[in-house]
Amino acid sequence: MDTLTIPIIFIEDDQDDKEIMTEIVNDLQIDHPLLFFDSTEQAMDFLAGSPEKPFIIFCDTNFPRKNGLALKKAIDQHPVLKGKSIPFILYSSIASNETRTIMKTIFDYWVVCKHPSK
């Protein structure tokens, strides 16, 4: 499958953090489309209704209604989504000097790993 069709999902409600994540992915020259959702509910609706298997999900932990951990649990309990084995990164804050290095490490690893979802 062409990487240009496999999305990276970000679940983030802070506009500044969205811009930082976009900049980092662009700087790292990651060839996946980026999908942003402002809430875990929006993301779950998309995931449950889409045949696509995202490359990876990055999810903030703090949301007003359903937090990131609750979303991860819902994905793990959903029969179809659980079978997709989507990598899920839960984070609390991305505004740090180490964010770029951490994301590069995650992407580098996931490209070469032997995960069963590949």
pLDDT digits (tens, 9 = 90+) for 2-34: 556 789 999 999 898 898 889 888 888 888 999
- Could you list the residue range(s) of the whole structural domain that residue 47 is in? 3-112
3-state secondary structure of 116: coil
104 part of a folded domain: yes
Residue 49 lies in a domain: yes
CB 11 within 8 Å of CB 68: yes
Is the pLDDT score of 118 beyond 60?
Answer: no
Name which of 64, 63, 87 is nearest 75 in CA terms.
87
Whether 117 is in a domain gets the answer no
Q: What are 56-66's pLDDT values in tens digits?
A: 999 998 888 89
Total tally of structural domains belonging to the chain: 1
pLDDT at site 1: 47
Q: What is the CATH number of the domain that holds 92?
A: 3.40.50.2300
pLDDT tens digits for 88-105? 998 887 656 677 777 778
Q: Which residue has the tokens 């839960």?
A: 90
